[in-house]
Amino acid sequence: MEFPHGKFVFFLLLLSLGTLSALSYTLFSPIDNYLVDCGSIVDSVVDNRRFVSDASCRNSYSLHSSRSASLRNENPHDVSPRIYQSARVFTRPSRYEFEIKEKGTHMVRFHFQKLNSSKFDFGDAQFHVLVNGFVVLSDFIGGEVVSPRVKEYLIWVDTEKLVITFIPAKKSKFAFVNALEVLSAPKDLILDTAEYVNSEKTDEFDGLAMQALEVVHRVSVGGPKVTPFNDTLWRTWIPDDEFLVSSFGSKRVYFSGRIWYQMGGASREVAPDNVYNTARVIRSTNASVPDVNITWVFPVTGGFKYLVRLHFCDIASISLGLLYFNVYVNGNLAYKDLDLSRATNYVLASPFYADFVVDADASGVLSVSVGPSNISMPYTIVGMLNAVEVMKLNNSMGSLAGKLPAELVLKSWPKRNIGVLIPLVAAACLLVSLSMLLRRRMTGLKNSLTWSKLPTDASGADVK
């Protein structure tokens, strides 16, 4: 039996989906939006974004430094973007302060590249960096940065200012930075809860949003590099080839249709279309389900917890309700029988992501795998992944680099040269003592002499 209003209901459904997707097309505009070209005397434009020279600090941010210098790259053949053609150098602890209008998670990015300079030897660039009390870099060696490098952090800010402090590792070393970004993040970028996964159990991990996070890996699976120009939050996603260790039985897929972002689901700020329209998949091509997994391995630092964000978007299935698979992190089952149709409210090509927190051990690697589950079906897709993000969480000392808290890192800078100062003070005291002793002796000798009038011989003279 045909319902007369069936076509009308179908039209309304398509209209609502289109409206939800269109809402996501609104460009994100951060309330706190600082782009600083450090050491430059003019502004620079990169990817249609204007980085303002720190020589003209505005009322909303300031530079506090007793000893800093601005440098220009002396290599005329360097074709790096303009923000990497200059740098601000610090020979003493120095800080930038940014006024914060919107409290919450902020993206903080540091741009580094050593310069050819006749004034400074970048082999002596070694320093620490603090952000609002978190240690984000420790003993960072700038001389090894031969090509542009971006260090990105997600920092919860509940104060009126965000303070970035640079501290040379020694008096013979210096710190530098080419450019800075401080941006308020979308509200849905970092949620407060994730699944904590280890070999014994899976449990909830709370308080994630209050942690300091370092973006260690951001990978587009099966696709090309995604540049900041093509990302909603000006991020870079690199191809997954160098991390892929087991891909037998898998293939890349590309999708040219629309990605359907839904309210309450993954937004375009979580990841852009260019990330979700490519993937690697495992496909069953006959009556049996292949017993294979796709596995990626990522270098990490042992002793820290990591947030692993996995991005999914079913761009390969021919119909809903056909895709079921398992997800493993560090060899442990993190998500059993993942049903993307149900997770996305039964909409194909609609993005979904899952957050897991895991411990990194002494092996120095973190693995991610997807593969068939017990309910995967023949002649269907039995495993897929679109993207991976790996972020380091701060340790109990509030550090993302090393075991020292910010207070001890600040105290590591020598206030004065005590070894030289003590002998100088002792010598000064000795000179003062000798001077006082000599003065007393001279005064005593003078007081011991009796003054008398010179004798007058008047025998040969007449006084009248």
Give one DSSP letter per residue of 63-125, joined into a string.
EE-SSEEEEE---TT--S-GGGSEEEEESS-EEEEEE-SS-EEEEEEEEE-----SS--GGGB
Q: Which of 371, 405, 439 is the last residue of a domain?
A: 405
Could you tell me the pTM of the whole model? 0.84
Q: Which of 405, 432, 453 is the last residue of a domain?
A: 405
Give the residue numbers spanning the domain of 236: 194-405
244-275 pLDDT, tens per residue?
998 888 999 999 999 999 998 999 999 999 99
Please check whether residues 254 and 346 belong to one and the same domain: yes
In a domain, 460, yes or no: no
Please check whether residues 248 and 312 belong to one and the same domain: yes
Task: State the pLDDT confidence band at 440, using cuts at 50, 70 and 90.
Answer: low
Please check whether residues 232 and 133 belong to one and the same domain: no
Number of domains forming the structure of the chain: 2
| Range 266-305 burial, b when 16+ CB lie within 10 A, else e | bbbbbbbbbbbbbbbbbbbeeeebbebbbbbbbebeeebb
Higher pLDDT, 27 or 214: 214
Higher pLDDT, 213 or 17: 213
Residue 110 burial (C-beta neighbours within 10 Å; 0-12, 13-18, 19+): buried
Is the per-residue pLDDT at 230 higher than 50? yes
In a domain, 126, yes or no: yes
Please check whether residues 122 and 237 belong to one and the same domain: no
Please check whether residues 212 and 170 belong to one and the same domain: no
Please check whether residues 169 and 74 belong to one and the same domain: yes
Q: Which of 359, 384, 405 is the last residue of a domain?
A: 405
Please check whether residues 180 and 198 belong to one and the same domain: no
40-70 pLDDT, tens per residue?
999 999 999 999 999 877 778 999 998 899 9
